[in-house]
Structure 1
């Protein structure tokens, strides 16, 4: 009886061992096991995705930096004599980010298309040759804002004008004497012209 039990127990042990080994072999052959090479490829793919995202962010930042445009100018001498319909060319640019404003011509040339904010202030005084002066902000030949400063009553007068407008790349913006007669503006920081890009076109 004991001998028979030993034989049965031994046979069961052999069968169980065989099944465990078979299971181990079968597990190595499962399709959901990961190949070491596949792990390397997966990790590299994740790194590439991360680097691609970083490059995209950097490109966006560079594009944004390239679109920074702003200027602020006034005249270093006094008075500023401007001929009929002439440009008020302010020769000192305290700020000129992007270099789009010319201190030689007084013209701002838009480097990119977008929404811009322009502002101009001009002054006249009682001893000026022209006690009443006009000025306007122009986009090419189109006036978009106009003002007047009048010192005929014996006191200094200053006027500020502004224009929030869309400008296309290459268009020129300037401060101009709007009358067909000569104008004399008070110089230094009392007559200024400034502008900046508020939002570039996408």
Structure 2
């Protein structure tokens, strides 16, 4: 756009020249006077010379006005170029930000719909039904999320206990690279289920892992049917 504006500048000057009738008249009168016989000087010739002097003065004034107009146009052009450059920089920045945001979208949501009759201590919970997996970070075979890009993430898990006499109690951990970040707890009584849930926010590097595992107790069971879920999303990319 800046190149187009610079190319238009000579055209603007030409338009100024075109709309300057005093200059055109002065040029035509000078050409006409040069064709007359310089030796034939009478009263009418003197009048013509006086008129030519007046036109020359008008011509000088028009040149000054033209220079002022050109200077003003140059100043306006410089301001316009600065504004256009600022707009182009802003548009480029917005385009890059939009590309980064779209290119690094990461989110997943998985559920356990079949239930788990018994779990061992430190056993990872498998959420086998994947409903969303932008960025392909979640592995439903191992129950592990692996960060495809660095950034600030949020994770949440909700689990419903079994309701048997021996498997209705559970405590589960949300772990980041094996480190405990939060714990879920539930204890079903008298044939009822119990729900436990928790949420964490973690700053991850690319390749860091997040999972949910049983902390207690051996033999605990999980009820399925979309009551037991694990989800996460990238909140802010590290760029």
TM range (shorter): 0.7 to 0.9
| Post-superposition CA distance 1:129-178 (Å, at most 9, x none) | 52211111000111110122112443211111221232222210001111
Q: Which has the higher strand share?
A: 1
Q: CA RMSD in A?
A: 3.6
Contact 1:85–1:180, Cα closer than 8 Å, also in 2: no
Contact 1:115–1:199, Cα closer than 8 Å, also in 2: yes
Q: Does 1:116 align with 2:153?
A: yes
- What's the counterpart of residue 165 of structure 1? 202
Contact 1:91–1:106, Cα closer than 8 Å, also in 2: yes
- What's the counterpart of residue 16 of structure 1? 54
Provide the C-alpha distance between the structure 1 equivalents of 2:103 and 2:45, rounded to a whole number of angstroms.
88
Contact 1:139–1:173, Cα closer than 8 Å, also in 2: yes
| Post-superposition CA distance 1:89-144 (Å, at most 9, x none) | 11111121222111111111122322222111111233265221111100011111
Q: Which has the higher helix share?
A: 2
Q: Does 1:64 align with 2:101?
A: yes
- What's the counterpart of residue 201 of structure 1? 238
Shift of 1:52: 5.1
Provide the C-alpha distance between the structure 1 equivalents of 2:135 and 2:118, rounded to a whole number of angstroms.
28
Where structure 1 has 5 or more consecutive residues not aligned to the other structure, the ranges are 35-39
Shift of 1:180: 6.9
Provide the C-alpha distance between the structure 1 equivalents of 2:118 and 2:132, rounded to a whole number of angstroms.
23
- What's the counterpart of residue 140 of structure 2? 103
Shift of 1:50: 5.1
| Post-superposition CA distance 1:41-83 (Å, at most 9, x none) | x999987765554333222111111232211111232325433
Secondary structure, counterpart of 1:59 in structure 2: helix
Secondary structure, counterpart of 2:227 in structure 1: strand
Give the TM-score, by structure 2 length: 0.66
- What's the counterpart of residue 30 of structure 2? none
Structure number with the bigger relative contact order (C-alpha 8 A, sep ≥ 6) is 1
Secondary structure, counterpart of 2:97 in structure 1: helix
* Structure 1 residues 162 and 10: CA distance shift in structure 2, 3 A: closer
- Larger deviation: 47-56 or 186-195? 47-56
- What's the counterpart of residue 37 of structure 1? none
2:222 alignment partner, one of 177, 181, 185:
185
Where structure 2 has 5 or more consecutive residues not aligned to the other structure, the ranges are 1-41, 72-76
Give the TM-score, by structure 1 length: 0.77
1:175 alignment partner, one of 206, 212, 217:
212
Higher Cα radius of gyration: 2
Equivalent residue pairs, number: 194
Contact 2:113–2:225, Cα closer than 8 Å, also in 1: yes
